[in-house]
Amino acid sequence: MRGVKILERALAAIPIMLGVCIVVFIFMRLIPGDPVDIMLGEASNVTQEEIDALRAQFNLDEPIHVQLTTYLTRVLKGDLGYSISRSANVRDLLLEALPATVELALSSITLALLVAVPLGIMTAVRHRSAVDRTSMAASFLGISMPAFWLGIVLILIFAVRLKWLPTSGRATYGFVPTHVTGLYVLDSILTGDVPALKDSLRHLVLPSIALGAAPAAVITRVIRSSMLEVMRKDYVTFARAKGVAEWAVILKHVFRNALIPAVTVTGLEIGSLLGGNMVVETIFGWPGMGRLVVDGIFSRDYSLVQGAVMVYGFTFVAVNLIADILYTWLNPKLVIGEKV
């Protein structure tokens, strides 16, 4: 029964993806500007024939519905098209940029969890204590601080003044690990390349803090509030009355049951980290999806933006689906699809 529900949800993703595809396709063409003109830049003595030839080459001379059909057919065959501004296949470009974004998102969320889980438990246990109040104030700050400004401040302090960490980029030349997955940290562990591991971790620190601050704050708050809620339940009082050690009560009974909303929120935070960090990527010179797609919009690189947004859409749908599945799995009383 549950399997069927999951399958149903997965199938419901198909029209969403189709919708994303069509919306971005039309949206890009509504933005004024001609990709061929941008591609030619300041080229002088260009003839109209040359321009027409280029337009034909990228199928830009056909009516829009024909272009859309052609594009959709190609996408179904796994061909995301050719990027005008970067002279490369969109799929290759995305496969290059995606690991960078994924690595940054994963490291940010790891950092966030490392802070949030202990802090969330502690604030719940020491409810209304000084620790609780300070952490809650700090978490509000974390939520309210724009990531890009935090990034600038971090660069200013740790890279420019103290010179502890690099200002930008993913790796110093010579420290790029052999390509396995495209995630530098994972690759350097897999190949046993210690200097490369150190180097990529050093590059990850500042952008991860900048991006991880807000999720850390959110997750702390969620863990705290759901633990507080669980602690009021009868079975917790009962367990305490039975003489179970306090730490065991907290970890076994309270934390486990408070985990459900935390997992959901973590999932959603990963989703938004994968989708919304182009300003931070720009500041840290991170060669990820965000820079690719912003640049694509500015150079009217239709195929590139379409491809990238489809990846975003797919990630969003997938992350939501996984969060839903986890939610029901942790909380068997619920049926998938009923969550608002």
Partner 1 sequence: MIKGVSARTHMRRKLFFLRLSLWAEGVSATIRRLRRNKAAMLGALVVSIITLSAVFAHVIAPYPPDEMSLADRFSPPGGKYILGADHLGHDVLSRILHGARVSILVGIITVTISVIAGGVLGILAGYYGGWFDALMSRLTEVLLAFPYLIFAIGAMAMLGPGFWNLVWALCFKGWVEFFRLARAGVLSEKAKEYVEAAKVLGRSDLEIMGSEILPNIVNPLMVVGTLRMGTMMVMEASLSFLGIGIPPRIPTWGSMIQDGYRFILNAWWLSTFPGLILVALVLSVNLVGEGLREVLDPDLQTF
Partner 2 sequence: MIHQRTLWKSHYVIFALVLVLVALSAISGCTREEPEPAGQTLSLVIDCEANRKDEAEAIASQLRQIGIQAEARTWEWSAMKAEFMAGNRQLYMTDWGSSYFDPFDLAIPKLVTGERGNYSFYSNPQVDDLLTQATSATDDETRKALYHEVQDIIYNDAPWVFGYCLEEIAAASTKVGGWRVSMDSRINLHDVTLEGSDTITVGLGIDKIVTLDPGNYRDRDTETVIRNVFDALVTRTWDGQVVPEIAESWEIPDPTTYVFKIREGIRFHNGEVLDADDVIFTFERVLEENGIGGQTSPRRGLLGPLASVTKVDPYTVSFTLENPFPVFLQALCHFQIVPKDYVTEVGDARFAEKPVGAGPFMFKEGRLNDQVVLTRFEDYYGGSPELPPVGPAGINTVVFRMMPDPATRVAALKAGEIHIADKLPPDMADSLMDDPNIKVDSVPGTRTYGIEFCLTKPPFDDVRVRQALNYAIDWDTIIATIYGGRAVRLSTAFIPSGFGYNHDLKPYEYNPAKAVELLKEAGFNVSLPGR
If DSSP states are collapsed to H, E and C, what string results for 275-309? Answer: HCCHHHHHHCCCCCHHHHHHHHHHCCCHHHHHHHH
Residues 92-121 binding partner 2 (CB under 8 A) are 93, 96-97
- Regarding 53 and contact with partner 2 (CB under 8 A), the answer is yes
CA max distance for the chain: 89
CB nearer to partner 1: pick between 199 and 281: 281
Query: In whole angstroms, how close is the CB of 183 to partner 2 at the nearest point?
Result: 15
C-beta of residue 263 within 8 angstroms of C-beta of residue 327: yes
Q: How many Å apart are CA 247 and CA 260, to the nearest integer? A: 20
CB nearer to partner 2: pick between 85 and 315: 85
Q: How many CB atoms lie within 10 A of CB 53?
A: 12
- Regarding 28 and contact with partner 2 (CB under 8 A), the answer is no
Q: What is the dihedral of CA 70, 91, 41, 283, to 10 degrees?
A: 140
* Count of residues of this chain found to bind partner 2 when the rule CB under 8 A is applied: 48
- What is the distance of C-alpha 101 from the center of its chain? 7
- List, as one string, the DSSP characters of 14-71: HHHHHHHHHHHHHHHHHSS--HHHHHHTT--S--HHHHHHHHHHTTTTS-HHHHHHHH
Query: In whole angstroms, how close is the CB of 139 to partner 2 at the nearest point?
Result: 28
CB nearer to partner 2: pick between 155 and 249: 155
Q: How many Å apart are CA 103 and CA 281, to the nearest integer? A: 12
CB nearer to partner 1: pick between 148 and 175: 148
- Regarding 162 and contact with partner 1 (CB under 8 A), the answer is no
- Regarding 32 and contact with partner 1 (CB under 8 A), the answer is yes
Residues 135-164 binding partner 2 (CB under 8 A) are 155, 159-160, 163
Query: In whole angstroms, how close is the CB of 301 to partner 1 at the nearest point?
Result: 12
- Regarding 180 and contact with partner 2 (CB under 8 A), the answer is no
Query: In whole angstroms, how close is the CB of 208 to partner 1 at the nearest point?
Result: 19
Q: How many Å apart are CA 147 and CA 211, to the nearest integer? A: 6
Nearest to 284 by CA among 217, 202, 214, 184: 202
Instruction: Select from 94, 291, 308, 313 the one that contacts partner 2 (CB under 8 A).
Output: 291
Which DSSP state fits 167? Answer: S
- Regarding 221 and contact with partner 1 (CB under 8 A), the answer is yes
Tell me the per-residue interface mask from 298 to 327 with partner 2, x by CB under 8 A, - otherwise. Answer: xxx---------------------------
C-beta of residue 295 within 8 angstroms of C-beta of residue 85: yes
C-beta of residue 112 within 8 angstroms of C-beta of residue 267: no
Q: How many Å apart are CA 119 and CA 115, to the nearest integer? A: 6
Query: In whole angstroms, how close is the CB of 304 to partner 2 at the nearest point?
Result: 11
- Regarding 201 and contact with partner 2 (CB under 8 A), the answer is no
- Chain residues binding partner 2 by CB under 8 A are 31-34, 37-47, 50, 53-54, 57, 85-88, 93, 96-97, 155, 159-160, 163, 166-170, 172-174, 282-283, 285, 287, 291-292, 295, 298-300
- Chain residues binding partner 1 by CB under 8 A are 15-17, 19-20, 23-24, 27-28, 30-33, 140-141, 143-146, 148-149, 152-153, 155-156, 160, 217-218, 221-222, 261, 275-276, 278-279, 282-283, 293-294, 297-298, 305, 309, 312-313, 316-317, 340
